[in-house]
Amino acid sequence: MRKLVLRYDQAFWRGSDFGWLGQTDSPSGLSVMDCSDLMDKLCVLAVFCGGTAAMALEGLSDEAALAKVMDVIEPILGPGVRNPVTVVQTNWTDHPWVGGGYATWPKPWDTADPWAPMRASHDDLHFTGAELASVYPGFIEGAIRAGHETAARIHDGG
């Protein structure tokens, strides 16, 4: 997983056909979303490159990865996307703690709640995180809710 946060002087994509989220099929695993505030004081696009998209960026410098991502998202957003004020890039590919991604989804898919064993305490050890959330799994909202849920279980003696 590689994540790029692109800040702009203005949200030039507003009023276009973009909406707030775009995903690509080639490469698959790339999504770009409008993360701006409602007053457009902070105009931000976040680009997530996972799976095939992350593999296409493997071994590239931040500059080369940014250029390649721009080639993919420019047809979606227009040429203005190439002029960010700031770029923050995080490459999770070789991170020793997350194994390439900062969010995961459980298997087997046919289990009603495959995360249940991780939500249960083990020898008074409790796990929590975005992926263990009952709602918004994999997102910061999920992480916050999972933390509250775990704290409530600990408080209640569970």
Element (H, E) at 57: helix 51-57
Residue ranges of domains in the chain: 2-91, 116-155
| pLDDT value at residue 104 | 56
- Nearest residue to 32 via CA among 63, 4, 8: 4
CA angle 113, 31, 26 (to 5 degrees): 110
C-alpha 16/C-alpha 18 separation (Å) is 5
What are the residues whose beta carbons fall under 8 Å from the beta carbon of 50, sequence distance 6 or more?
1, 29, 30, 101
| pLDDT value at residue 61 | 94
pLDDT tens digit at each of 158 positions of the chain: 888 999 999 999 988 887 788 888 888 889 999 988 888 889 999 999 988 888 899 999 999 999 999 999 999 999 999 999 999 998 877 766 556 665 555 555 566 777 777 777 788 888 887 777 777 666 667 778 888 888 988 888 75
What are the residues whose beta carbons fall under 8 Å from the beta carbon of 57, sequence distance 6 or more?
2, 49, 65, 68, 69, 91
Supply φ then ψ for residue 90, to 5 degrees: -125, 125
| pLDDT value at residue 109 | 58
| pLDDT value at residue 158 | 58
| pLDDT value at residue 90 | 86
2-91: CATH number: 3.90.660.10
